[in-house]
Structure 1
Amino acid sequence: MTADTLLHRLNPILRGWCAYFRPGMSSATFNHLASFVWRQVWAWLRRKHRRNTWKELRRRYCGGGWWPTSDEGRLLHAGTITTTRYRYRGAAIPTPWQATT
């Protein structure tokens, strides 16, 4: 599998997970997810290219930076996604009962 294929398959999964858990999760959890995915992708790259150094891998797969990129795009960084906590508060919470007058 090429790096382009890996990122192309991984990004929709990450995007869907982040969209589903965005209302209830903390940003620390998303940062942990981004760190975990980064380590797993780098471990895959290191297994694929055992004889290359970090510098060569960064130049080839990250454009000199640290975050994996490909011709089609970058690996989704879950830590940059904002969370929405406490969407409904106070009187904005819908009630199933009718108000008595």
Structure 2
Amino acid sequence: MGFDFLGFNFRKYHGKLLIKPSKTSIAAVKGKIRAIIKAGGSLPQDALIRRLNPIIRGWGSYYRHVVSKQVFSDIDHAIWRMTWNWAKRRHPQKGQRWIKDRYFAHRDGRDWVFTDGSDTLFQMASIPIRRHVKIRGQANPYDPDWAAYFRRRYVRQGKPTPYLAHWLST
């Protein structure tokens, strides 16, 4: 079956271990976002976006190392539904086309982007999934023989070369 630990669900599917965000953590982040949107019924759009973005970004960053691309997409869709209902509640006498034109825009090849022109709601699905790669067992960052290995590792991860590895290689 599997088990939950620290917000992750560990389970074997056809003999392969997959780690995903747990259902309780998904429900918790959706509930938190829903509470902010409901409490911000009279907030301007930019203030609402500024309150939501850190939560969306932080939750996505925590789960970006596991199997979570579909979960990110599902949460983005739930957030879209919440923001659409928020906009409809603010203007009950206006039509759907007017509401879409007022609160949503077409940006970077995507339609229905919740934006006020300057601030844009962050899309969790835009977070790249990056798997954790273990360091070789014998590798030592203080040994000059391993400096090339660590330099390649940092370049592959898109990180700047740390001072120590740079110093050992010269």
TM-score computed with the length of structure 1 as normaliser: 0.79
- Give the corresponding residue for 1:49: 91
* Greater Cα radius of gyration, structure 1 or 2: 2
d(CA) in 1 for partners of 2:136 and 2:60? Answer: 24
Q: Between the two proteins, what is the percent identity of the paired residues? A: 29
Aligned-pair distance for 1:71?
3.5
Runs of 4+ in 1 over 6 A off after TM superposition: none
The aligned runs of 1:1-101 (5 Å cut-off) are: 1-63=43-105, 65-85=111-131, 87-88=132-133, 92=135
The number of residue pairs the alignment matches comes to: 92
Aligned-pair distance for 1:38?
0.7
SS class of match (2:105): coil
The answer to which structure has the higher strand fraction is: 2
Aligned-pair distance for 1:66?
1.4
Q: Which runs of 5+ in 2 are unaligned?
A: 1-42, 139-170
d(CA) in 1 for partners of 2:58 and 2:137? Answer: 27
d(CA) in 2 for partners of 1:59 and 1:26? Answer: 31
TM-score computed with the length of structure 2 as normaliser: 0.49
Q: Which runs of 5+ in 1 are unaligned?
A: 96-101
SS class of match (2:114): coil
